[in-house]
Structure 1
Amino acid sequence: MKIVSDSPLKHRLSVEKHDRDNAGLTYVYPVVSRRAGGVSVGINLNPNNACNWRCIYCQVPDLERGAAPHIDLLQLEDELRWMLQQIVRGDFMQSSVPEEARRLNDIAFSGNGEPTTCKQFSQSVEIVGRVLEDFGLVGKIKLVLITNGSQLGRPEVLSALENMRQLNGEVWFKFDRAPDGRFNPVNQVVLSSTQVARRMASAAARCSTWLQTCMFARNGEPPSDEEIVAWLDFVKARLDEGVALKGVLLYGLARRPMLPEGAGLSALPAEWMEAFKARIEGLGLEVRLSL
């Protein structure tokens, strides 16, 4: 494994920079996360820049349709141990992190594509659990899965979520727009209400689950009220069915989209985001807003 021993980062961390290769590693990268409110250690199981979705606000350069490649699990573990050594026992926080963000919040399966398309996802969760145990971090920080939910019909993925629950885990379930059975212009996938409802319920039944929702203007126009009502109605229906959602992580654009489809996107005014937050709270859910 190639480690940069004298300086672990190419540049200091900030909300604006989420480079996956900042630490010179293949699978592990640190970021300052708006939604986490501190340092998040990312695990990138998609170093091939492949994802089965193509969200128009995506910030992955040269994104391709596809699944995660075969992962070198020994290298993944070595990189994670090295990164935590820098953060927990070294001077990483003082040398590389803004003062207001100097807290380790979580380890997050995120990266350059959908992490659960990795055939070794379950084994990767086991590795993270072992490393957390060795560093005395179980129960002290979160283990987060940022997912579009597309693989939650696979038994091994569901089993991994149950394992995550024992490790203070959270699922951040991507839910940008309500499914209607037609082509989704935001995530560029075909989704049915039945599919998404089943996957959302499966996640919430096995691990603490938050919805993760990105809102933005397109060609200067905010989402229509029809889109917003459809989103609210879908979530309310899940709550009425007893799906135990923890809340909603509502966020806007902080960095420039990298796909051609994202050329006309821009951040929404704070007033619009606050008004939508209030409508979600009207469903009885906690909302964490990141502008």
Structure 2
Amino acid sequence: MKEVSIISIGNEIVKGRTVNTNATEIAMAFTETGFYVSRHVSIPDDCKTISETLTASFKEFHITVTTGGLGPTFDDMTIKCLARGLGKKLTLNEEALNIIEEKYKGLKLPLTEERRKMALFPEDAKIIKNSVGTAPGLFYTLDSHKIFCLPGVPKEMRSMLPEVLNLSGKSGLNYVSMEFNISGVMESSMAPFVKLLMREYENSIFIKTHPVSDEINDPKLTVELYSLSDKIGEAKVKMAEIKNKIEKWVDNQRNSKALPGTGK
């Protein structure tokens, strides 16, 4: 199972000024293509923190994806700090420089030092073209580990995500999921039965209950079943079995006694 670490960089994320939609989109994209997203981390614009966090993630996880810190301002330092952590020299990437130069030339603007900064990459790193904005993304790999650094602007990140998924390769697994709704049962009442089912299916299917209303006065749940599996058919059969068992359990509870919170 290939694990993914998502790291969001920026004071605006950490302090809550900006809602972190990037992490959600990236996580969904990797999950739906069969990868296991192990964590989301948000860190500030601090070079020591960035360097240590990215380097540790790169060593531990198969794939690390970062967003933020690729632009022209003083606090855009992701690539510089990554290079420091990897022990790599920062060099001017000619391909990135040409792309950036052409974009500003089209706007009849000079290539300032701040704009040239966006073309500095660690040696051996490759660029990911930015079709929406100016700052290119970064791709670096060593052995079986890969790191991608993407812009923090959501539409720019989104434009690069297909290429990131392509460069990440095949996960070897498929994401299989099912959702259904039940009512009249509290999440806390159902919790012991869910635990038994998880044990019965040896954690091959993850069962997650999501309350959608007031547990005390009007208990309603959405039940989510999902799995990362190399056997889609087998996973679907198990999910159908679990759904049937849960629905029967709810019916039995109703037939045997009043359910707490139902008023029946």
TM over 0.5: no
The structure carrying a bigger strand percent of its residues is: 2
TM-score, normalised to structure 2, is: 0.30
The structure carrying a bigger helix percent of its residues is: 2
Q: Which has the larger radius of gyration?
A: 2
TM-score, normalised to structure 1, is: 0.28
